[in-house]
Structure 1
Amino acid sequence: MKNFLILTITFFFHTSLIFSQLQIAGTITDEEGQPLVGVNIIEKGTSNGTTSDFDGKYSISVKNDATLVFSYIGFTTTEVEVSGQQIINVILTEGLILDEIQIVGSRSPKRTAVDTPVAIDVIDIQEVATQIGKVEVNELLQYAAPSFNANKQSGSDGADHIDPASLRGLGPDQTLVLINGKRRHQSSLINIFGTRGRGNTGTDLNAIPSSAIKRIEVLRDGASAQYGSDAIAGVINIVLKDNVDTFTGSVSYGFYNANADVDISAFQEDDYGVWNTDGFRLDTEKDGNQIGKDKDFDGGSVKIMTNYGLAIGENGYANFSAEFLSKNKTLRPAFDFRKGFGEAAIDGFNFFGNIMIPVSEKSSFYAFGGRNYRDTDAFAFTRNNPTARNVISIYPDGFTPRITSNITDNSIAAGFRTETSSGWKIDISNTYGKNNFHYFIKGTLNASLEEVSPTDFDAGGHSLSQNTINLDVSKYYDDVLEGMNLAFGAEYRTENFIIFAGEETSWGIYDENGILITDPANQQQPVDPVTGDPRPGGSQGFPGYGPANEVDRSRTNLSLYTDAEFDLTESLLLSAAARFENYSDFGSTINGKLATRIKASDNINLRGSVSTGFRAPSLAQIYYNLKFTNFVGGEALESLLSPNNSPVTASFGIGPLKEEKAFNAAVGFTANFGEFTATVDGYLINVKDRIVLTGNFDAPSIPNVEAAQFFANGVDTETTGLDMVVSWRKAIDNGSIGASFVGNINNMYITDVKNGDLDEQTFFGERDKAFLLASAPRSKLTLNVNYEKNWFDVAIGITRFSEIELLDFQVYENPSDLNYSSYAALLEGAVDRYDPKIVTDLNLGFKFSDNLKLNIGSNNLFNVYPDQQDDWTEAGGYWDSVQMGFGGAYYYARLNVSF
């Protein structure tokens, strides 16, 4: 195998020499002779490219007959034919082509990411994708943006299927997502389990194909005054590809190392089943699911990506992307009540388009959008015998239900841009999006139906649709001060949240005669002959939504905004923004922002901002409701999540939800010194009336329910932190070498628990606090080093994930029952500590020709796992869902083509 690999690489190396190459070098400046940093230089019709360094210099190897394309935000794109030249110096002219997308956080056409008054990351997603083997957008951003965090869940119902993600440790719903500057709709899923995003909704970034993305702009600053609700932590703007006459595609395959680093010596065979030497039980389920490790590798995934653009007229385009993904489950060691612990399986197809049609020299029509479909499959908690939740004749050895889902995510935006003769730019658009989440529960049963129960159920689901109409007007004044940009606009948004019922057997409770119970006083549930307990109704694993759960609620929102940027001098920039919003269901709010940037020298910028912000409670947080089975320390607990507007909720002393209010402050600097650049930004974020999911209240008066939970404006938090991005790149011979350090240090504090007259430990106790704080990891530090020359490149990434502490289910136990001397000792014993871990990624690239490249590598090369815990964990596995993940090493190969 080794000799074969050497021969293969040697063959392709010699093949690549056949292609005639020419080394081009030069300097890129503006019209005043100032060097331009970070200009994109692409060999037209290929994926071969580079960027200019801090002196505006570049070097690239291309074919003799190539055409170079020079593009830079705020400047007109320029094409130059090589024609045998070895030195090509370029002067770029200021001014945007009509369809250029502005940098998020500034509506000025004269602003770039390095001179904005707030922290902005501009991420070339294709560059990141070729250096990281992961296949989803969340996973790509995890290693590219300093304060972005996302992780896989297991045993968290819908969160197993849509990954919650966040900025700066705040909630998934406190980051606004835009596409081409237009608001993206959120997912209809609300997270009620797991560690990250409990009680939050969020935007499903994985519904957007990475092959359609040109770049991602991450605004790491409060921006509610500029963009509205949800922008407390910042804004993620996804800019779609607009290239033409080039086809790019890739085929990748990857898989996980299933040899987990575990120690089973502390567990007895008769307590936890029959184990093999790798720490997996050897049990086979009746429905054909093998619950136990029988191979060294799992989670195999295939991803196929394509992108192609067509020219429309002189400056128009129609760019289309398609992706296919098929990913198998992973299976990792877990305890007896959780035999199916691991990542979900996914089969999905994604299509996106981005179109701009010129109408005149200064007017154009544009449209973009797409459809994402995913069929997912995840394990729920195991039902072990003896239990009233199982029917022995169907599953003699117990069973592990599977929660599967069909998720469809559709969106379309269309608009018209024009510029008047006096220089006013006008943009009118309408954006519509809908997320539909439909549950199907398999390998399960309705215990109250006993032997006649089906084993598969349509459990219903939920959807969220959003329609947004925008009017944006702006003008840049060259002759006012050193430059001034004015912008104002309006937005009208409608939202609709629906819960739809599943089939009757997925939610119904049946009597001894198999008749749906409608009169509990005169109809009796069947009783399990072994335990003597009543047999519960509904599909085990995830009970279906019934008619009592159905919701169809809407609201409207009207907002008006204005913002301005003033270049008071060549060195001093001041920006200000204000926004008024009125919601039909809770009233009005006004927010403002001030920011400044000072050029302290030719190499150093100082910047800072202060702002107020808000987030309106989502429709899901107000109206979502479900009766479900919650596993507490491996024991099933029938729980009710009551809607906020319910009399039941009010009877427990929980008030109506109101908006979250925030105050943001940031200060930082940017620096350029030769081949080095650095940005360092400190921040403070205070959030009042933060919406959380409460703890479990005893509910003896509610039939067939043991505990109740609610959404409430439950806590105030304070978050302080530091983001750092330092990079260096140097051209050497026919290649380049570079390094970057991306880091985030973060501290969140709960400053107040708003429990009123309710018991604090029940309302939002120590365990709930630990979950919230664990969603804001103390740090994430990444060092990336890459080298490229001719046909070969290598990238190494080293990431340190900080310590995380959670409190497990022991906190609900009597200290004496667990041999603790006091409750304080119990709390200490309940702490699950995950020590800092270092994960290493490696990527090797082999360029066979201008049109063909192979990447091979590994994420988490050394198969590092979080620290193993005891059997009180939230998810029932040997680890919880922490930021470094629990999948182990991932190996991959990707073949990239372009022509």
Structure 2
Amino acid sequence: MNRFFIFLLFLSFQSFAQQITVTGTVTSTTGETLAGATILEKNTMNGTTANAQGQYQLTVSGPNAIIVASFVGYDRQEKPLSGSTNLNFTLTEGNLLNQVEVVGSRSLNRSPTDTPAPVDIIDLQKVTSRTGQLDVNQLLQYAAPSFNSNRQTGSDGADHVDPASLRGLGPDQTLVLINGKRRHQSSLVNLFGTRGRGNSGTDLNAIPAAAIERIEILRDGAAAQYGSDAIAGVINIVLKSTTNVLEVNANAGAYQAKYRFDNQKFDGLNYNVNANYGLKIGKDGFVNVTGDYNFRDHTNRANTNPEDVVRRQYGDPKVQNASVYLNAKIPLSERTQLYTFGGLNYRKGDAYAWTRFADDDRNVPAIYPDGFDPIISSKINDRAITVGVRQLVGKSEFDLYNTFGSNRFTYSVHNTLNTSLGPNSPTSFNAGGFQLNQNVTGLKFSRYYKTVLQGFNLAAGAEYRVENYQIFAGEEASYRSYEAGQAPGAQGFPGFQPSDAINRNRSNIGAYVDLEADVTKSLLLGVAGRYEQYSDFGGTFNGKLSARYKLTDFLTLRATASTGFRAPSLPQIYFNSTITNFVNGQPVEVLIARNDSRVTQALGIPKLKQETSQNLSAGITLNPTNSLSITVDGYLIKIKDRVVLTGGFEDTDDVIGEDLKALGVGRAQFFTNAVSTTTRGLDVIVTHRATLGAGSLTTSLAANFNKLTIDTVNTTPRLAGKQDTYFDIRERYFVMYSAPPSKINLSFDYTLRKFNVMLRFVRFGEIKLANWNYDLNDLDVYKPKVTTDLTLGYRITPQVGIAIGGTNLFNVYPTLHQPSLTESGGAWDPVQMGSNGSFWFARLNLKF
């Protein structure tokens, strides 16, 4: 394997001598040179920009490449190379409404490689055609080193919504946009056995990959530009706008089970069917529609240690995921367009809870003589719609829009019982759930002044956001205890009680100004400021400074400094869960208490406030040749007052125990601003493109190095000295290792006529977690691991393509540990590449 790896590296860098280089100039119809124009090889991310004289030089994959030139305010132009090595472009001034904005800069005159902050552009069609992953979270897990997402097991709702993070921060510290508009979060707050505990993230898997053209990841704090949550960065999902092409994909695969007690060879069947079609409307309009269905079956990796069995079912949940998505732009006139996008997603999931064995006090042998494995079922309904109008007034653009999003999460529990009902207990229960709604109305303004300095962009805007959060109760038998001394409610997941039910709203108004100027042809400066006022906790102002300086044609320096914030989510403020036990015939509550409850008020737990951050980043971009690109970016992120879920305080506590008893509470947890952290990291991306024989080879190395330290744990004055309960060592290690300290992705992508092959190595760094021993001398250490992926593709005809391959070819697993001590009850926590093993797949692509 090592020899093959070295051989591919040798081929990649020896192929400089075989490059085809194209040169030319880009001008307007009036003869003006268009400095900064973008020149790309079509259907690739291979590109460059024109210099001050409008000249460019670009190395392409072969003599039949198609070259695309574009510039703000001008219609793009395509030309086939047809064996030539010189192509000149003359661009015609066009409609500003058709120009594209890249996240990180509100200037339409800025390419992704020209921004003062690092932006990853991920071509979803290329990624999905070359890898085995089928959902957005897993696609990004392997395509973007700073992005991490692991499937959970035995973690209640998190089994159905994969928590994800950027740069090792919380799932709720990354802002997600769709076509540049704020996306609503999931109504789920992660609680048990999961990463991102106490956080509410955005459910990326509610958006079908088949509907996405590209994903832009801004790896920089951007709260001053885009608002709350953008502490770690921004993920902008751009939907497809293609027309007159029907594309259908069918994908299927399964996992090779290395650890199964029944010796079954394969499990976890996955299959996906999707279709996308776009209809052209007028000269520049379109309607693009996507339908997608994905099925994923259970995997089981339990019983790796027959002497330490705590779960008979451990692995991926069973999930059925169906989506319909729309993206449309309708020209109303030459200077006005109506646009709309959004979709519906329905997901049904079945996840196993921890086993109740035959002799367990919570079992009723008359119903389950061999014990039982409760199944927590979810139904998630996610819907979103955006409608807007873009209008040109002179050379200014106005954008008026409204975005509505809703996420509803309902639970039911099957293959279970209510112990207190004895042999008469039902085995299925409706357990209630929650819902989060969000509506954003906004107005944006943008104007590019070509003659001010070397180019100046002014952007400003305002948004009004309304949010609503609800908890609704389950049926009585799902939560009630009918006999003193017996476990209450449905085993595996007791339902929400009427006392948990809530319906709360809040509003927010924000306004921003974003200025960006090319002071000289080499120096770009930017400044942004944003003020937001919340109805429940007050106002906050944040700013950002950015700079980019071109030392030479091939070396650029860039840096940013910003402050940021994240408002506590409504689920963090109002989530409430109650389990009622009976002690000596008296009801005693075990609860997660919402922030305004009688318990938190009696204990002096303060009102939640915003998290605040300070972000610094600096880096270089280096393009020594048109075929080699290198970017290196370092970052420092300090976050104060992070919201966490505390450990459980018992009614035996020497300080607040008597208060809890007086309230009829046996145990309580609550959300609080308790932790301050510092994250230091480095991103490195190297890309090389070259011809190899009659084909082209792209070699890319992408790495993220990340270290998070916990600076302080701040308790309330009454609970001073109780940091080990407030935020114990297990929780500390979960935060510190939300991402591997390093993740390195090395890939080789070779295309030869109708054939392509992708080989990828991913190295996950070492992770350390504290287990149920609470012993710093007995950590669960997950040693570094390398996975290998291979995909072979062939285009049979222009209309038919096939691909086969495997991810994690050599069936690599994280380090084995003692199931009774891990958080998840299996031999591994959800870390690194996960615990499912090799995945073998096949794909059929049809285009008409």
Counterpart Cα distance in 2 of 1:838 and 1:472 = 46
Q: Deviations over 1:757-777 (max 9, x none)?
A: 421111112121111111132
The answer to whether residue 562 in structure 2 is matched with residue 611 in structure 1 is yes
Equivalent in the alignment of 1:888: 837
Residue 89 of structure 2, aligned match among 59, 76, 91: 91
The answer to whether residue 269 in structure 2 is matched with residue 300 in structure 1 is yes
8 Å contact from structure 1 (residues 578, 591) kept in 2: yes
Overall identity of the aligned pairs, in % = 47
Counterpart Cα distance in 2 of 1:301 and 1:453 = 35
| Pair 71,626 (structure 1): closer, same or farther in 2 beyond 3 Å | farther
Counterpart Cα distance in 1 of 2:246 and 2:605 = 56
Q: Deviations over 1:402-434 (max 9, x none)?
A: 01111111000000001112x111000000000
The answer to whether residue 339 in structure 2 is matched with residue 391 in structure 1 is no
Q: Deviations over 1:736-777 (max 9, x none)?
A: 011001100001110001024421111112121111111132
Question: TM-score normalized by structure 1?
Answer: 0.85
Supply the AA of the counterpart residue of 1:186: Q
Supply the AA of the counterpart residue of 1:241: K
Counterpart Cα distance in 1 of 2:24 and 2:496 = 61
Counterpart Cα distance in 1 of 2:599 and 2:45 = 61
8 Å contact from structure 1 (residues 720, 747) kept in 2: yes
| Pair 80,739 (structure 1): closer, same or farther in 2 beyond 3 Å | closer
Residue 840 of structure 1, aligned match among 767, 788, 811: 788
SS in structure 2 at match of 1:651 = helix
Equivalent in the alignment of 1:316: 285
Counterpart Cα distance in 1 of 2:71 and 2:771 = 50
Counterpart Cα distance in 1 of 2:253 and 2:589 = 39
The answer to whether residue 503 in structure 2 is matched with residue 552 in structure 1 is yes
| Pair 242,570 (structure 1): closer, same or farther in 2 beyond 3 Å | same
Counterpart Cα distance in 2 of 1:834 and 1:584 = 44
The answer to whether residue 386 in structure 2 is matched with residue 402 in structure 1 is no
Residue 664 of structure 1, aligned match among 595, 615, 625: 615
The alpha-carbon deviation at position 652 of structure 1 amounts to 3.5
Equivalent in the alignment of 2:758: 795
Q: Deviations over 1:29-82 (max 9, x none)?
A: 53248797661515xxxxxx68457832434587xxxx9683657475546586
Q: How does 1:45-84 map onto structure 2 within 5 Å?
A: 51-52=46-47, 55-59=57-61, 70=68, 74=72, 76=74, 78=76
Supply the AA of the counterpart residue of 1:750: I
The answer to whether residue 26 in structure 2 is matched with residue 30 in structure 1 is yes
Equivalent in the alignment of 2:5: none
The alpha-carbon deviation at position 298 of structure 1 amounts to 0.4
The alpha-carbon deviation at position 385 of structure 1 amounts to 3.2
| Pair 612,79 (structure 1): closer, same or farther in 2 beyond 3 Å | closer
Q: Deviations over 1:833-852 (max 9, x none)?
A: 00110111111111111111
Equivalent in the alignment of 1:377: 350
8 Å contact from structure 1 (residues 195, 772) kept in 2: no
The answer to whether residue 677 in structure 2 is matched with residue 676 in structure 1 is no
| Pair 165,629 (structure 1): closer, same or farther in 2 beyond 3 Å | farther
Counterpart Cα distance in 2 of 1:34 and 1:361 = 27
The alpha-carbon deviation at position 649 of structure 1 amounts to 1.9
8 Å contact from structure 2 (residues 613, 637) kept in 1: yes
SS in structure 1 at match of 2:252 = strand
SS in structure 1 at match of 2:565 = strand
Q: Deviations over 1:289-318 (max 9, x none)?
A: xxxx35210000110111110000011000
Equivalent in the alignment of 2:470: 498
Counterpart Cα distance in 1 of 2:494 and 2:730 = 25
8 Å contact from structure 2 (residues 800, 845) kept in 1: yes
8 Å contact from structure 1 (residues 61, 790) kept in 2: no
8 Å contact from structure 1 (residues 68, 79) kept in 2: no
The alpha-carbon deviation at position 452 of structure 1 amounts to 1.2
SS in structure 1 at match of 2:130 = coil
Counterpart Cα distance in 1 of 2:202 and 2:347 = 15
| Pair 52,754 (structure 1): closer, same or farther in 2 beyond 3 Å | closer
Counterpart Cα distance in 2 of 1:57 and 1:629 = 69
SS in structure 2 at match of 1:385 = coil
The alpha-carbon deviation at position 441 of structure 1 amounts to 0.6
Equivalent in the alignment of 1:177: 176
The alpha-carbon deviation at position 656 of structure 1 amounts to 1.3
Counterpart Cα distance in 1 of 2:614 and 2:78 = 49
Moved more, 232-241 or 762-771: 762-771
Counterpart Cα distance in 1 of 2:687 and 2:181 = 30
Equivalent in the alignment of 1:853: 801
The alpha-carbon deviation at position 259 of structure 1 amounts to 1.4
Q: How does 1:543-692 map onto structure 2 within 5 Å?
A: 543-627=494-578, 639-674=590-625, 675-692=627-644
Counterpart Cα distance in 1 of 2:562 and 2:159 = 35
8 Å contact from structure 1 (residues 337, 382) kept in 2: yes
Q: How does 1:254-265 map onto structure 2 within 5 Å?
A: 254-260=253-259
The answer to whether residue 469 in structure 2 is matched with residue 471 in structure 1 is no
Counterpart Cα distance in 2 of 1:898 and 1:61 = 24
Equivalent in the alignment of 2:690: 730
Counterpart Cα distance in 2 of 1:600 and 1:25 = 24
Q: Deviations over 1:434-475 (max 9, x none)?
A: 001111111001111111111011111111000000100010
The alpha-carbon deviation at position 735 of structure 1 amounts to 1.9
Counterpart Cα distance in 1 of 2:751 and 2:689 = 11
SS in structure 2 at match of 1:710 = strand
Task: Compute the RMSD of aligned alpha carbons.
Answer: 2.4
Q: How does 1:432-451 map onto structure 2 within 5 Å?
A: 432-451=404-423
| Pair 755,76 (structure 1): closer, same or farther in 2 beyond 3 Å | same
Equivalent in the alignment of 2:824: 875
8 Å contact from structure 1 (residues 431, 467) kept in 2: yes
Counterpart Cα distance in 1 of 2:136 and 2:580 = 32
Supply the AA of the counterpart residue of 1:109: L
Residue 650 of structure 2, aligned match among 698, 701, 707: 698
| Pair 601,408 (structure 1): closer, same or farther in 2 beyond 3 Å | same
The alpha-carbon deviation at position 651 of structure 1 amounts to 3.1
Counterpart Cα distance in 2 of 1:544 and 1:188 = 16
Q: Deviations over 1:185-208 (max 9, x none)?
A: 000000012341110000001110
8 Å contact from structure 1 (residues 41, 71) kept in 2: no
The answer to whether residue 294 in structure 2 is matched with residue 325 in structure 1 is yes
Counterpart Cα distance in 2 of 1:768 and 1:224 = 27
Counterpart Cα distance in 2 of 1:858 and 1:184 = 33
Supply the AA of the counterpart residue of 2:619: G
The alpha-carbon deviation at position 83 of structure 1 amounts to 12
Counterpart Cα distance in 2 of 1:348 and 1:71 = 39
Counterpart Cα distance in 1 of 2:843 and 2:66 = 26
SS in structure 1 at match of 2:684 = strand
The alpha-carbon deviation at position 364 of structure 1 amounts to 0.3
Residue 707 of structure 1, aligned match among 647, 662, 667: 667
Question: TM-score normalized by structure 2?
Answer: 0.90
Counterpart Cα distance in 2 of 1:827 and 1:109 = 52
Query: Where in structure 1 are there 5+ consecutive unaligned residues?
Result: 1-23, 43-48, 261-277, 281-292, 512-524, 526-533, 631-636, 812-825
| Pair 103,84 (structure 1): closer, same or farther in 2 beyond 3 Å | closer
Equivalent in the alignment of 2:14: none
Counterpart Cα distance in 2 of 1:589 and 1:83 = 53
Counterpart Cα distance in 2 of 1:694 and 1:318 = 48
Supply the AA of the counterpart residue of 1:393: A
The alpha-carbon deviation at position 853 of structure 1 amounts to 1.1
Supply the AA of the counterpart residue of 1:568: V
Counterpart Cα distance in 2 of 1:137 and 1:385 = 40
| Pair 846,463 (structure 1): closer, same or farther in 2 beyond 3 Å | same
Counterpart Cα distance in 1 of 2:610 and 2:344 = 31
| Pair 61,349 (structure 1): closer, same or farther in 2 beyond 3 Å | farther
Equivalent in the alignment of 1:765: 728
Q: How does 1:127-206 map onto structure 2 within 5 Å?
A: 127-206=126-205
| Pair 33,412 (structure 1): closer, same or farther in 2 beyond 3 Å | closer
Counterpart Cα distance in 2 of 1:607 and 1:380 = 49
Supply the AA of the counterpart residue of 1:110: N
| Pair 704,793 (structure 1): closer, same or farther in 2 beyond 3 Å | farther
Supply the AA of the counterpart residue of 2:546: A
